[in-house]
Amino acid sequence: MGKKRIIHIGEKEVRGQADAVEQVGDKKAGGSMPSKKMKEGIVYVYASYNNTIMSLTDPYGNVIGQVSAGAVGFKGTKKSTPFAASKVADAIAQIAKNKGIEKIAVQMKGVGPGRDSALRSIGAKGFDVISVVDATPVAHNGPRAKKTRRV
């Protein structure tokens, strides 16, 4: 394997490299905002008949964390239960606490059974819920219906 070589770098050079590392680390991967502790966040709740998915974003829309009932450990029809949705909300709340978020705006979409329990679980975790918005898409008659069949 050969000899190990050790290179000695002067103290001035090491400091210069540390400054460069700090400048690169100040921005997120997208480069749009500094990576300091934030106070506000948006939680998107998608509650379908089969699953409950929650995403946590910063106010700019950059995703911080995402958890679903399947990722928490539920399988099959158990993913669509209110209990699974509360466990998903607990996981999102833990991510938000680690990031230092105190205020949360909630946007809900879908008509699944986990919708209410997810909102209650988020509220019970001690966050200031700024707003709750229902963004469920609603059909408004849609395209023209087919003509009736004549036999």
CATH number for the domain that contains residue 55: 3.30.420.80
Q: Is 1 a domain residue? A: no
Q: Is 120 a domain residue? A: yes
Q: How far apart are CA 79 and CA 100, in angstroms?
A: 28
Of 111 and 8, which is predicted with more confidence? 111
Number of domains comprising the chain: 1
User: Which of 26-30, 44-48, 89-93, 107-111 is predicted least confidently?
Assistant: 26-30
Residue 129: domain span: 39-134
Q: Is 93 a domain residue? A: yes
Q: Is 86 a domain residue? A: yes
Q: How far apart are CA 7 and CA 124, in angstroms?
A: 55
Q: Is 142 a domain residue? A: no
Q: Is 9 a domain residue? A: no
Q: Is 53 a domain residue? A: yes
3-state SS track over 123-139: HHCCCEEEEEEECCCCC
pLDDT tens-place string over residues 6-43: 666 665 444 444 443 333 334 444 545 555 677 899 99
CB-CB neighbours of 116 under 10 Å: 14
Q: Is 49 a domain residue? A: yes
Most distant CA atoms of the chain, gap in Å: 93
Q: Give the pLDDT confidence score for residue 145 in this predicted structure.
A: 87
